[in-house]
Homo-oligomer: A and B are copies of this chain.
């Protein structure tokens, strides 16, 4: 009988199965199946989170002008690659490595250090005790956390669009994921001081979204608004989207990705928690969509599709921290309020002449903060297992809420400060903003020597 290599490979697996799983009376059987089940759950949800990179790329490029499309797509494409490198070399160890309450100090440089995953609890021995609660192989843990890190960096991308130098953005992204995101991440998910202080963030309203939002806010304050956005006498000149089709594809892809982001953060195939998180996540999304659409419709007289998109994303960001800690009806209220907040925040930024082309700060910062507060307001102790204690509206007093405020302020202060340092350093060393001529002509020509849509006639507006 000829024996193919795949067959041989498969035989190896079969031997493994026979030894480890095949004898169902053996104590290890159910454990092995649990590890396998948890692993495929985590890698599949991580794949959905990876796909969010496409969502961001399309929302951001679609909501900007055609003349900057190659540049925005390039930024969103390379930012994930740079984040992977930064997280592989520095981020993972700083975030999840054993260390102090402030920072991880083991496991730096290509996932170094001992590790006996999928062992859990007391059986775990290795460099990453803070994430030893999930019983999956080390590389599955890493990959799941990697795609989360990538998300934080890509949030910045939209805010600084249409005027930032390509290389400067790449350098900032590396620094953010190597040295900023993992530090505050360590405080919360890496066994650091905020975790000890009773701060809860299930899937990252603060860890991921507000960190990206603070870094973005610092960036646009340093960069200044796009040419022509704000006229004399407080006039705002809207700069319309070049492709609402891209924007809507992007939003649906992000919504799908959130079904990995939030339920996947169980990092174990816990059926009750997963089902619950699917419900709260979807509920906040659709309510954010509805409330933002309605408020904007009433306010401006017509329903704006871009605001519907941002309302949906606002609901998703807001529910990210509390999704496993609150009821579905609370999710409904959180989504509803998130949608209202994003509409107001967009108007507020324009009044302050802070130019955020895609609304990343209203979506990710405002609602990241809001969602984190909602844990303190709406939490129901052990609703899916975690002992958060009750939130203020559920009779738990202000203990939890105070911890949430503490975390919001601490993460905001560190991220803003570090981001300003990096933005100013890059400005001094490389320059941050393209020339006025390049900005007018479009960054596609200036930075890349290409255009996005060859063959299409344009109106001279921004195509």
Contact = CB atoms under 8 A, between A and B. Distances in A.
B7 A130 contact: yes
B290 A450 contact: no
A26 interface: yes
Nearest to A138: B275
Interface residues of A, number: 170
A43 B44 CA distance: 12
A451 interface: yes
Contacts of A274: 39-40, 43, 140
A402 interface: no
A2 B140 contact: no
A84 B432 CA distance: 44
A285 B80 CA distance: 11
A66 B142 CA distance: 41
Interface in A262-320: 263, 266-276, 278-279, 282-283, 285-287, 289-290, 293, 300-306, 308-309, 312
Given A241-B454, A273-B13, A304 B449 contact: yes
Contact of A252 (B44, B57, B133): B57
Given A256-B47, A304-B449, A77 B192 contact: no
Nearest to A2: B191
A17 B4 contact: no
B70 A244 contact: yes
Interface string A54-94: 10011001000111011001101110111011001000000
A28 to B, nearest CB: 7
A19 to B, nearest CB: 12
A395 interface: no
Nearest to A132: B7
Total copies of the chain: 3
Interface stretch (A193-201, A222-230, A353-361): A193-201
A328 B39 contact: no
A73 B305 contact: yes
Contacts of A329: 110
Contacts of A249: 54, 57-58, 249
A453 B211 CA distance: 32
Interface string A224-260: 0000000000000000111111101101110110010
Interface in A422-463: 447-459, 461-463
A1 interface: yes
B458 A462 contact: no
Contact of A139 (B243, B276, B457): B276
Given A54-B253, A136-B271, A306-B450, 12 more contacts: A2-B130, A6-B189, A10-B133, A12-B387, A37-B40, A40-B40, A40-B274, A54-B248, A66-B454, A240-B451, A244-B452, A457-B458
5 contacts: A5-B386, A14-B135, A30-B30, A35-B271, A57-B248
Closest 3 CB pairs of A and B: A10-B133, A455-B463, A4-B195
